[in-house]
Amino acid sequence: MASLEAIARLLAARRVLPDPLLRRIESESKTKSAFLGAVLKAGVPEPDLVSLLSEQLGVPGVDLSRTTIDLAVLESIPRVVAESDLVLPLATEGGRLHVAISGGEDEHPVVEELRFITGKEVSPYAALPGALEQAIAAAYDAKDRGEARWRGRGLLPDTEAGVTVVLPGNKPGTLAGPLARDVGSESEFDVEIHDDEEGEAEILHAVQVRTGPARILVVDDDPDILRLLDRTLQAAGYVVEQARDGLVAEEKLKTTR
């Protein structure tokens, strides 16, 4: 499967997983969707995997774990269509319908169908298949319960509506609208407004989202244990914060995700 080989090569080049583990996952995965799910389960953070998927497909990606949706947008696509075609409405900014599509598929005829049905230009964003399927069910269930918003599991309960977008090349951004707060970034990227071939603007703003190694807080009152864990975890590719007691740990948790 060419698309599976391409994303596997990107993962190998970034060294996000040990080579033997990556080869085993690739050999055991019958589909690209199964492969992506196994890589996520192996510990690759969703923002990092979405970034690689975006790079492989050449389209923006969406980190659904850091996304909040105003559920009024679900009126644009019936649930039966969303579930059968694995497509989730995200927003209607800039006169467009922005939708999450499955990064496990290489072709998405549903995008053209939505353009015809809605009469709007449709902007697709690649999402992890498993995360997308769960988000579709959770968002439409929330709408049926009369709720106004659905929030990804990586956001605080009071986070305002905002769609966390990852552009090819590992540059995060967000659709126009309130920014998602406290999404745990190492860096902030400014994404310029740009036009497509037809001159219609797809508006993106800056957002903070963590891409890269996970950050681990190590808490212990023994300096030798702290040094040992610090060396071990850094050697495994993690960013490490240290705290020698619970009070210091609580202070760090208030300022660092």
pLDDT in tens, 174-208: 443 332 333 333 333 222 223 334 433 343 333 33
Q: How buried is residue 177: exposed, middle or buried, by Cβ count under 10 Å (0-12/13-18/19+)? A: middle
- Higher-scoring residue by pLDDT: 221, 187: 221
Q: Are strands 207-208 and 194-195 parallel, antiparallel or unpaired?
A: unpaired
pLDDT band at 107 (very low <50, low <70, confident <90, very high): low
pLDDT at residue 53 tops 70: yes
The reported pLDDT for the residue numbered 178 is: 30
- Higher-scoring residue by pLDDT: 106, 163: 163
Compute the distance between CA of residue 91 and CA of residue 224 in angstroms, rounded to an integer.
51
Q: Are strands 96-102 and 188-189 parallel, antiparallel or unpaired?
A: unpaired
Judged by DSSP in three states, 31 sits in: coil
Greatest mean pLDDT range, 1-5, 101-105, 176-180, 220-224: 220-224
Q: How buried is residue 165: exposed, middle or buried, by Cβ count under 10 Å (0-12/13-18/19+)? A: buried
CA angle, residues 140, 146, 147, in degrees to nearest 5: 75
Note the pTM of the prediction, 2 decimals.
0.62
- Euclidean distance between the first and the last CA atom of the chain, given in angstroms as a whole number: 37
